[in-house]
Amino acid sequence: MKNKDTIDGVPHSRSCFFAFPDARVPEIYWIVPISSKYEKYKRIEQDIIKKYGRCNTIRFGTVLGRNTAFLIQNMCPATEKYLTPYIDKNKQPIRIDGRVAADVEKNARNVLALAKRGAKVIFPDVFAIFEGLEQQLRQAEAELSALSAEQDKLSSQEAQQP
């Protein structure tokens, strides 16, 4: 996603996400985009509620004192190598209020469960992305294991030399 946000006249160079680990593969995080277009998403939420009676694909909270929308409908998986913490002016990672974080994570997990059952509630093909990340993790683990075995072999050969 591209960030179109401008704060204090300065355009941001990257999107802002809320991340939480997957329940089965904790090395993979689910990232939920955060938008400052609060009013726009409030209107969309109301339209969804009118149509379906409820909306758990968009949640709301504050980040750095600003009203924001958490776009569960656009969430996707990522590993740590693709993520950079959002740092505040005191060089501390931005934290989301615990109640907001719990609400977003609970609704995101519910939406994921719906998507696994075939509902079209998330826009990207998150399960194909997830499988690709799992493959990357397995490959990295296999390479690390092979390297470790090679080092053990070299160490034992060195120990046997007079």
CATH number of the 6-127 domain: 3.10.129.130
> For 112, phi and psi rounded to 5 degrees?
-60, -45
pLDDT at residue 21 tops 90:
yes
Confidence of residue 12 (pLDDT cuts 50, 70, 90): low
User: Which pLDDT tens digit goes with each residue over 125-153?
Assistant: 888 899 999 999 999 889 888 888 878 77
How much is the pTM?
Answer: 0.78
User: Hey, where are the domains in the chain?
Assistant: 6-127
Mean pLDDT in residue range 22-34: 94
Position 101 scores a pLDDT of 95
Mean pLDDT in residue range 63-71: 92
pLDDT at residue 8 tops 70:
no
Distance CA 51, CA 154 (A): 66
pLDDT at residue 4 tops 70:
no
